[in-house]
Chains A and B, each alone.
Chain A
């Protein structure tokens, strides 16, 4: 026997959003492993790691579809649905960029030019922390929407600020690396490949920041 009151309550989409954020974090960590392994050239595990990312991306995609397909009109949420979907989109774009960056890495199996190896590794390392903070942000949001506590809102704001700072650092590294590539790498083909690759890696942090900005909008008074 069902009762009216229980059918009024809909499963909160934040549960799935949390699962999606966890997948994104997992993907980012594998990406770091794959990218660092590839830098030195002839990485044996690269393909296996790329496959792992592809598998995780497809699982995260299924979660994203589930979120979108199960939020029809008529569902009342504690946040604006448009902003919520925007957040999902940005969080998902992180994965797309990770996958794309791995593709670009695979196009030149020889590895990264020795002149920029160290800086490229720094860039890869710098884009991971903002992504690693996304699951924490979603967990805090879930908690915040239950209590509406000002203190929790402030904690979230500080986490969002952290993400922004990380992204800013990644941006600076990206800009510097681009300049170094033009300066130090003589082969035009390699320059083209590296510039595109660096942009893609930089975009990973950009989307993490965009996602956190959407979250900031959701918790705005």
Chain B
């Protein structure tokens, strides 16, 4: 019986993970493919590897995994089966919501979907009083904060690139000068997030100042290596030198930087969003294994890896056509703009994830693209889409709450 239950739960978890890949990850890779920095095939390979690494190294939610902090699982201690059904229902409800949204092209957040689903079964199983309503407030705050933060960081980065590189007399020389600094920043964000989240997952405690002391030299070394690589590539006779104009040289340089940020976006996605599918699955496994309710569940390494691969698989199965469409439609994204948007998105996701805000990769990325646009960096952006995003934010939570409540009632009536 346990095997059947676990197999079913795994299937539903993988279904949710694949949906996340088809929706969120396809968007995240769209900017890189749109600027022709990478091909679709490269996008898929990068996604699968970096997303899995992100999930494994920085995605392990040791605490709160079980319910995203929305409900207190100890209230269900007397009846672990209810928690099991609840988590199962949460996965199905969120999966259906994201699937429908992906089908109709609606901008939903997979994070908000799973949060709504957990709240839904929480209300029915233990009552509204058990819901941590303050957490809802933090979600509402993240609706504003995350795209805004993405926009400010990406816009700032574009402003810097325009003033210090694009508008100079010799943009190629300037880009060679500042690219190592940008590589340094990207690595700094990446290393900090790995140390803060990943090492905690491996039970290694490092203080804040030690973390800074450790990450600064590594990031500086990466910047130094990047500097050497750029000089090596731009020596007379090298392929990069064969570019026709100065701007195509700058574009080529930034396209290489964008490969780095594309990896980072996929990494940040893995760190932030894989847990949406794997967290409830880990809870189900824990209940089946221990026959009890734990306050927090440690997500096994293999589960994170499988989740990361499933998300990549979802992208491979359903997302390639979407990326292709994006790549052909978003010709306005140049490598410089794409780099800035992705840098803003990565930094915001990892920062918000560190601060405990449940952010949506897609929404942060949209905020970052708009941020570059506000700095007059994009051809034409349809800001009316922001209204749709607002609507989807408002609709996703109630939709998954109600669906999860209905499915929970149905399943408990059938099974218990």
Contacts and interface: CB of A to CB of B under 8 A. Distances in A.
B379 A3 contact: no
A76 B389 contact: no
Interface stretch (A30-38, A42-50, A117-125, A141-149): A141-149
Given A2-B105, A3-B105, A75 B380 contact: yes
Interface in A4-51: 4-14
A11 B365 CA distance: 20
Interface in A75-125: 75-79
Interface residues of B, number: 46
B383 A74 contact: yes
A150 B369 CA distance: 23
Nearest to A15: B379
Interface in B302-354: 318, 321-322, 325-326, 329-330, 332-334
A4 B381 CA distance: 12
Nearest to A146: B334
A74 to B, nearest CB: 4
Nearest to B163: A148
B382 A8 contact: yes
A76 B162 contact: no
Assign chain A's interface to a size class: 20 to 34
Interface stretch (B12-20, B370-378, B400-408): B370-378
A7 B382 contact: yes
A1 B27 contact: no
Contact of B31 (A5, A10, A77, A149): A5
Contact of B105 (A7, A72, A75, A147): A7
B380 A4 contact: no
Contacts, number: 116
Nearest to A145: B379
Given A6-B30, A6-B329, A12-B332, A1 B105 contact: yes
A9 B337 CA distance: 13
B223 to A, nearest CB: 25
Contacts of A74: 382-384
Interface stretch (B59-67, B80-88, B129-137, B164-172): B164-172
B365 A12 contact: no
A12 B380 contact: yes
Contacts of A153: 167
Nearest to A76: B381
B26 interface: yes
26 contacts: A1-B102, A1-B103, A1-B105, A1-B318, A1-B321, A2-B105, A3-B27, A3-B325, A4-B389, A5-B27, A5-B365, A7-B388, A8-B366, A9-B379, A10-B379, A10-B382, A11-B380, A74-B382, A75-B380, A76-B383, A77-B380, A147-B334, A148-B377, A150-B166, A150-B168, A153-B167
Kindly list the 4 A-B residue pairs having the minimum CB-CB distance in the complex, ordered from nearest.
Answer: A2-B105, A4-B107, A12-B379, A10-B380
